[in-house]
Structure 1
Amino acid sequence: MYKTKLNEAVKAFEEEMEQLKLDLYSLKRRAFVPKQDIPFGTVLTQEMFEIIEIKLDIPQRELLDESDIGKINTVFLPSGIPVFKMSVADEKLENDLREQEFNMFLIQTNQNKGDFIDVRILFPNGENYIVLSKKQIKDIMLEDNTVRLWLNESEILNISSAIIDAYIHPGTKIYVAKYIMPELQEAAIPFYAANEDVLDLMRKDPNIVDKASDALARELRAALERNLNSITEENISKVTTWVSEEISKNKEIIQSHELDKTGKEDAISETSDGEDAGLFN
């Protein structure tokens, strides 16, 4: 009787273990995991991911796979976390989309690659217009005040017109405004209209955009030089003196700590010598 019950218990245990193995096997998933954080709005490539096997109680069809490569992520993708299909969307590239480089915008000091921005134009009379809306910075060189954007033909025409507007109206600035949470914020509606006179000028002189771009870039650099030159020799001397004083103070503090440490070590050594002498006596 006991043996029969024992056999039944063993059999039930083995069946339960077999079921657990089957359950575990059924949870095995193939997941795409980002090697590094992927900013919102990035075109996904195979090289961005590591493919791993993981246990997940989620259908395989809901996880990212090879068919999603080339799509764009609609949310920020942290490294090390499996990506779901609902986190990406089809984003067909327009045939007239081109990468454009600009070095005449006023860009923010905390600007980063991957940021979403509006490009705006500010006229001397205070009128402020959005020229380009919610464009992602594809590349940035802060030291050169240069950004790269992907623009279609209509956007290229608009920004070209704005550059010439800024060139022929002294005091006009083209600057960028960064989106705080691009995943949640809708794109603003551009309401800058290309000036007819500017369009005529572009038709008459195909090189006018390059001339205007160069002039604005030079103006930005000149403004920086003026700001640097406005620092008087007296102020430079004050800064130099302050830095020297801070360095001297730091040296004194370090030397003081070293002397204290040496004194403590000497005191410990003397105490130890005294104890040793007492033992021998």
Structure 2
Amino acid sequence: MAIRKRKKILRYTILSGCLVAVATSGVWFATYRHYNAKLIDERAAYEEQLNDKDEVLQRYMDQSQTAYVLISPKLAGEVITAEDVMEEKLPKFSSPDNLISESKAIVGKYLKIDALSGTAVTTEMIRDEARLEPSERKEETEYIKLPLRLTKKDVVDIRIVFPNGEDYIVVGKKSLKDVDLANQYTFFNDNEEEAQLLQAALVDAYINNAELYMKQYVEPELQPEPVVNYVPNLDVLGVIKDNPFIIDQAKWSLAANLRKELEKRLEVMEDEDRIRVGAQAPSGSGVIQRKAVQGAAAAEEAAKVDDSQSVNGVIDRTNQAPIDSSADQSSTGVTNKEAATDDSLLEGE
């Protein structure tokens, strides 16, 4: 009897244990499925976030631009070395347009202003020389004949040619800041000596029928600066010798004799031979001829002229026969005489 009772208890115990094990396994399995499904959902959401971030990052990379950032603070006037900058990608929408994207355009240049570390270097922040000359100024010219393909990135010499064919360099190797080709304007920086030479050359253009023109460099980085061999008139030489901004006076010591010899050569020329090489007098010259035609009335006059040599609306007529400015002056004089006669008649009345 006792044995049968123990067997019955053992049977119930085993059955209960099996039921508990089954129930526990079911609960565990259900819990596992629940958390596994939740984990799958979280993983899917995380992967979706990653994909969204990848898209944003790709858009950022597509709309970024290369820039060079200062690693350490620099003071104005200090030279920038290769160890001072590092390359970075900056978003284009929040970066200035004049960022420098090549290290060779930065290394060896000088800062114009103090800059902290992390500052992106722009073209307006650097210059070629450590310090500005005291007399350096912005120059604007309209009286120089420009090449038709001139751009604001060009480096040029400004030259002058006299009616007898003598050709001199007035200003050498100037980097242009801006160009208005249609109106024949150029903008660059010059010092006091260069400004004096340019003004003297302009006087020669009026008095001696000389022509001022620009010539572009082929490879400015490989070509050295030329020796300026233009000699201004004696009055300008006197101003140069007394000008405190012009330090190098030694090269002008023999200039007076050179100028006198040039003027002697020009004086022996006959009046009919005194024509400007390539254009007319500055007041109505090749400078004016090569300006873009503007307005309906001007367009009608331009239609009568052969514009086969025009480029981008700028007409090259420097090879045409020069206009006799004396005829214009005589006609102007006649008009003035007629006006004076009319005035005297009115006064007599």
Structure with the greater relative contact order (CA < 8 A, sep ≥ 6): 1 or 2? 1
Structure with greater Cα Rg: 2
**With structure 1 as the length reference, what TM-score do the two structures score?**
0.47
**With structure 2 as the length reference, what TM-score do the two structures score?**
0.39
